[in-house]
Structures are given as C-alpha cells and as structure tokens.
Amino acid sequence: MSSSLLPIEARHLQAAPQARYVREERVPVRCLDDVTRESLKPSSRVLLKLDVQGYEDRVLAGAEKILDQVVLIEAELSLCRLYDGQLLCVDMLGMLAELGFELACSEDAFVDPVSGRTLQIDGIFARSQTSASKGRE
C-alpha cells in the first residue's frame, strides 16, 4: 500500500493499518538531475509529480538543475507527521515558495477513517508570476 525511504510513524498506522511493514528492501536512489540528464531537452517544460511518502524535500534538493524547466509540481503535503524525518505541510509550502512555486489548488488525499481528520493533502503548485517574470529578464 505504501513505501517510503523513511520510517513510518504510528499516526499513519493508526489511520491505515494496512500500510504496516511487510518487508524491507534495498533500492538504488538517484537524483532527478542525474536521471533526466539524457532524456530532458533544454526546451522541455515539466510537470513534476512527487509521490515519495515524506521524501519530497530530498527529491527537490536533487532536482536543482531541472527546476528551471518545471512549470507545475504536484506534491503530497502532510498535515501531521506520517513518516519520521519528513517536512510537514507548512514547511513544504515555505520551501516551494522559496523555489518559486505557489499553491494553485489542493484536495484531501489521506483522511483518517475514524476521526475524519485530513492527514494529507495533494497540492498543485504553479510557478509564481514573480518567479516566471524573473526567468524572462
């Protein structure tokens, strides 16, 4: 149901017991800048979808070279800690703002079935007008 490079928190398991650990696997991790080096053309415009279970800030850190080509970002934003070491929504909003993106729309993504509390939202971020105009100067 869910995989992450980060340890899962009890709050996540309370809301979704089926997300419990089944096994641990070793996987290679590469930066987006390295992965896209050969396949992304300089003229390409990119929608970057981040579905990385709490690892969003690290993925963005490994995408510095391609961020100029990114026009939209879709990211999961946690309102409470679901994974140990993840940034919460408010911190991700700040980070994305610093990178030149602003929240354009959002919707509930993960709701606790018992309490009805929204635990995570999906956000679509567009390059801010200020950031876009700086890129044209």
Q: What is the residue-wise DSSP string for 78-89?
A: ESS--BTTPPPH
Can you read off the two tokens belonging to residue 94? 């700040």
Pair type for strands 70-78 and 46-50 = parallel
- Output the pLDDT for position 89: 97
Q: Which residue has the higher pLDDT, 97 or 131?
A: 97
Main-chain phi, psi angles of 38, to 5 degrees: -90, -25
Per the listing, tokens 């981040």 go with 50
Gap between the Cα atoms of 35 and 31, Å rounded = 6
pLDDT of 136 > 50? The answer is no
Gap between the Cα atoms of 78 and 119, Å rounded = 6
pLDDT of 91 > 90? The answer is yes
Specify the length of the chain in residues: 137
Taking the domains of the chain in order of start, what are their residue ranges? Answer: 10-136
pTM, 2 dp: 0.88
Gap between the Cα atoms of 82 and 90, Å rounded = 14
CB contact at 8 A, 19 and 1? yes
pLDDT of 56 > 90? The answer is yes
